[in-house]
Every structure is written in C-alpha cells, then in structure tokens.
Amino acid sequence: MAHVNENYAKLPGSYLFSTIAQKTAAFSEAHPEVDLIKMGIGDVTRPLAPAVVEAMHAAVDDLARVDTFQGYGPEQGYGFLRDAIAKHDFQSRGVAIDADEIFVSDGAKSDCGNIGDVLSVDNVIAVCDPVYPVYVDTNAMAGRAGEYDEAAQKWTNIYYMPTTAENDFVPALPTTPVDVIYLCSPNNPTGTVLNAEQLKAWVDYANENDAIIMFDAAYERFITEEDIPHSIYEIEGAHTCAIEFRSFSKTAGFTGARCGYTVVPKALVRDGQSLHSLWNRRQCTKFNGASYVIQRGAEAIYTPEGSAQIDETIEYYRKNACVIKEGLERAGLSVYGAVNSPYVWCKTPDAMGSWDFFELLLEKAHVITTPGAGFGPSGEGYIRLSAFGDAQATKEGVARIENMMASR
C-alpha cells in the first residue's frame, strides 16, 4: 500500500494572493467603472533587453541546424555562462568564487526549494518574520517544521526571527541553537538590507555553530548604497558557512524565461562532507540543466551592451520605488525599503491591521497592495508595495494614496 508524504497535509492553505484576487474581483464587480492600479505585484513588466533577445534568437537558430545543434547540456550549466557569472558577479567585485562553484538552474525558487534535499530532516530552521513563504513551506514539506499552530500562525519547530521597525529590520542572533538560517538581502518583503557588519555577525555565528546560511540575493542588483554587500561572500568566513541564491528574474526580466543560479563554495563542509559535491550529485540525478536558449540569453546580460540595457531597466524600477517612497512619506506614512530594493514596506496608519489598510486603499484610493500579514505574523501592521509596475501608473497610484490620506 503506497503512502503519501504526511507532511503535506499539515500545510495551511496558501491564501494570500487568492484572497487579494477575490477581494479585488468583488470590488471591480461592484464598481465596474473604477480603474484599479496594481501596486502589489511581485512580477516584472518591462521587456527583455535587446542584447538578450538577440542572443536567444541566435540560440534558437543554433538548435535549428545540425552542425550547431545542442543536445543535453551540463547539469551544472554551460561553461560560457558559469564563467561570465564568476567573472562579472564575483571576481570583478573582488569576491573569490570560481566558475565551478556556480550551478545554473531554471530559477532561484527551484533551488531554494530543492536545496533541502541534501540536508538532514533533523536540522532546526531559522527564518526571518515576515518571510518569503517558499523557505518555510519547503521545509515543512520535508518534515523539518513540526506542526502548524493556526493561532500563532507559526510552525512549532521553526525558529522565527522578527524583523520590524522596532529592531531596524535586523534579525537578532538566536537564543536557542539553530542549524540552517535563511537570510534575504535586499529583503523580500521588507525591502531592507543587511550591511557588512550585520552579515558578519551571522557568518561568525554560523561558523562557530557549524550552521549553514542560505543567503537569498535575488534582488542584489537593486542595491544603490555603496557599503551594502551584494554577495555574502564579500564577508570574511562566508565560504565555509553559506550558500547563495541568485536570480535573473528581477535582474533581467527572466520571470517568464526562467534562469537563476546557486553558489555552493567548495570550502563548505558539514558532517565531513562537501556540500558542493552533495548539490552536484543532486543536480546530476534530478535535473538536466537549464535550457540552452535561456542560458545563451543570460550570458548576454554580461556583455557591455547587455549590462547597460539591464541597468536602464533597473533604473526604471528604481525611479518607481523612489516615487512610491517619497509619495507615501508626503502622505505622512512611515516607509522602509525602496532605497536598495524594488519593494516598499509601509507601516499602516494608526496601528490599523494590514488587511484593513489593504481594503481602505482598494476602496478609497483604488490601488491594490499586499497586506504584510500574508508574509508572517510580524508583517501585521505593514503593507508591501512593488516598483515593478508601469511608471505612469505608479505615479497615478501614489497620487491617489496621497489624496486619500489628505482627506482622512
């Protein structure tokens, strides 16, 4: 008799975005004349860079001819892309990461989810609160989370580290032992960053306790301040305790094209085993490499032409973030993130609940946002706005919020 993985039944429903969609649909049905502006969306809207488009067309043509056809590629990614990543994302910034420490994949979500395959079920997981739900759900599926406590909105075996305005969004070192720590900087959803000193404390903790840091740097290209690390490997000691996830989704508009990568340094060893070897074995056994066409597109990001085009798009989103931040501040709201991130994290006025403020913004400003409570209990009292929309619509949305707040 076949049995299923019993941990799946413990997962609470993932209702955040479907609830938002339902509330939005109900409002639109009652008010069909209203033009709603979406400012909650976590997906990009700008097209691929011309250099990327050109490279993908050339790659498709490679597959069309017998002499340039590409069959199975290396599970770890093509050398041309791993070399470009190592050179431009790490070595050019003085960070010692070799091409063969880079594993190209179909995206950071897959890697964040699959990395648990190489870890024992017995590890204690630590996450920030609020948090990107994939870290929590994938560990719950593997049996590392214990039971879900509906009232507390927390798993019994997960160690939660609140990151709120009260602690400047910097997670405190744990007071009971943890084994695997997820850190995301620039952070989704709060838009805040960890500086070198703050990261160093975590690297030291991990090395002293033989823990592993899972560092999600999917938004690093949005960093504007000079002293903020783009990679955890800029921190001394990180090579012996950290795995880093990177994505082309937000960097270069690849949410639909699909490509990302994971760095597993050869110096990272636990239980006497190389995590690099374990991850390599996992990928070779359960993955057949990312698409040749898409990897050729990703390679083009690292050409001078492609890089400049990517920066233009990032600048477009950055200006949106600035427009949102400044507008909300003019409206008298407390705003975090935005400076080094496409996300703006906004405190609700008068200690309003985050779903209440979401509904107020929907009904009075005709703007769709994301309630912070959807990212964990410490997200209560905040909403998330995203800079990935159209520039004109973003300006209009912010003006509506300002007007609404002025007339309260």
Cβ proximity to a second copy, 54 vs 363, nearer residue: 54
In 3D space, the residue among 368, 401, 380 whose CA is nearest the CA of residue 27 turns out to be: 368
DSSP string, 142-156: HT-S--EETTTTEET
Footprint on residues 154-183 left by a second copy (CB under 8 A): 177, 179-180
Q: Scanning the structure block, which residue is given the tokens 């056994």?
A: 285
Footprint on residues 194-233 left by a second copy (CB under 8 A): 209-212
Q: Are 63 and 293 in contact (CB under 8 A)?
A: yes
> Could you say which DSSP state residue 336 is in?
E
Min separation Cβ 45 and a second copy, Å: 7
Give 199-203 contacts, CB < 8 A, sequence gap 24+: 199/229, 199/232, 199/235, 199/238, 200/235, 200/236, 200/237, 201/173, 202/171, 202/173, 203/232, 203/235, 203/236, 203/237, 203/238, 203/241, 203/242
Min separation Cβ 124 and a second copy, Å: 9
Q: By CB under 8 A, is residue 407 in contact with a second copy?
A: no
Question: Which part of the chain contacts a second copy (CB under 8 A), choosing from 4-12, 223-231, 322-330, 391-399?
Answer: 4-12
Q: By CB under 8 A, is residue 30 in contact with a second copy?
A: no
Question: Which part of the chain contacts a second copy (CB under 8 A), choosing from 27-35, 159-167, 189-197, 254-262?
Answer: 254-262
Min separation Cβ 360 and a second copy, Å: 27
Footprint on residues 53-92 left by a second copy (CB under 8 A): 53, 56-57, 60-61, 63-66, 69-73
Cβ proximity to a second copy, 6 vs 150, nearer residue: 6
Cβ proximity to a second copy, 134 vs 165, nearer residue: 134
Rounded Cα distance between 124 and 144, Å, is: 7
Q: By CB under 8 A, is residue 127 in contact with a second copy?
A: no
Footprint on residues 263-282 left by a second copy (CB under 8 A): 270-271, 273, 275, 278, 281-282
In 3D space, the residue among 185, 224, 189, 145 whose CA is nearest the CA of residue 373 turns out to be: 189
Tell me if residue 405 falls in helix, strand or coil. helix
